[in-house]
Amino acid sequence: MGNLKYGLSLVRDFVKFVVTNKPQFANYDVTWKCNLNCEHCYWKKYSYGKKEPSDEDWERAFMEHKKNGMKYAMLTGGEPSLRQNVIEMADKIFDGVFIVSNGTSKIPENINRRIFVSLDGNRETHNKIRGADIFDKVMQNIKNDKRVVIASTLSKTNYKQIEEIVKIAKDANVFGIIFSMYTADNPDDRLLLNGDDLEYVISTIKKSKKENPGFVLLSKMMIDTFKTKNHVKNCFLRSKFTVSYYPDLSVKTPCVLGEKVDCSTCGCIVPIWMHCIRKLDVESAKIVGRMFAV
């Protein structure tokens, strides 16, 4: 843990991309399957249930992509922990591997990579959002695991629980916490945060960041960008830096959220990270460097 040099190499590679425009980052949805039914999940809109590649197919694809210059892999789904063999292959092949999981299955200890685990409220709220009684199991799986960064998606359902979510994450003794805002396929979606609610979210995250320095892994510019949406116009997820794949290895556009996304509603933290780095924000670069230093 704590390999800051590695984390900063990701930042340098992104800056290098801005100059060379060569892809280095792939997002792989490694399975059509998920064991939950979350109310805010974009994936439900694309879960076509097609045949999935075999482990051997994934290995060939990973090797080919690596040969063509791909350095970093973000493993999503569906729920990627349902394809543990694919995670292990990616771990052996790519320089950087980041896993986004619902936390219901523990990623084996030998996978020493950053794991972003979803947590969207206290026990009652999280279980309601996730459509299953899984809060206690997730807490057990992440306890004292410094690979884990809590990734909380805020919507009209849970935005009043920001400080409680931060406390739960700290009590679990994980590496830190990030927030994203719910992203929709239309600006009238009932879960979207706007107006006074969004102002409340921004001020509360800033307050939590001040009270938990080094644990709330968001810079001031990142937090402000949730409101300004300055990351949308030149979103790096729609650039040649990254390619997103469905579980059948077909290319997903415009980004990992798929073709039905309304970019004007985007509250995804990943393009916000890269927008802030592109703007040469020092605080953002340091945070991203630390976060990916595993």
Strand partners, 28: 75, 245
Q: Is the pLDDT of residue 57 over 80?
A: yes
Percent of residues in the chain assigned helix, strand, coil, to nearest 5: 45, 15, 40
pTM over the 0.85 mark: yes
For position 69, what pLDDT does the model report? 84
With H, G, I as helix, E, B as strand and everything else as coil, classify residue 217: coil
Q: Which residue has the tokens 């970093």?
A: 72
Supply φ then ψ for residue 213, to 5 degrees.
Answer: -60, 135
Structure tokens at 143: 């306890």
Q: Is the pLDDT of residue 180 over 80?
A: yes
Class of residue 215 by CB neighbours under 10 A (exposed 0-12, middle 13-18, buried 19+)? middle
Q: Which helix (H) or strand (E) holds 249?
A: none
Orientation angle between helical segments 269-278 and 220-228, nearest 10 degrees = 110
**What confidence tens digit (pLDDT) does each residue in 109-167 have?**
999 999 999 999 999 999 999 999 999 999 999 999 999 999 999 999 999 999 999 99
**What confidence tens digit (pLDDT) does each residue in 77-120 have?**
889 999 999 999 999 999 999 999 999 999 999 999 999 999 99
Structure tokens at 257: 């959220």
Cis peptide bond prior to 254, omega within 30° of 0 = yes
Task: Set out the domains of the chain in order of their start, with CATH numbers.
Answer: 4-291 (3.20.20.70)
232, 238, 244, 248: CA torsion to nearest 10: 110
Confidence band, pLDDT 50/70/90 cuts, at residue 41: confident
- Which one has a higher pLDDT value, 47 or 23? 23
DSSP at 106: P
Q: Which helix (H) or strand (E) holds 212?
A: none
Separation CA 264–CA 284 (nearest Å): 22
- Name which of 213, 184, 187, 140 is nearest 44 in CA terms: 184
Q: Which helix (H) or strand (E) holds 74?
A: strand 72-76
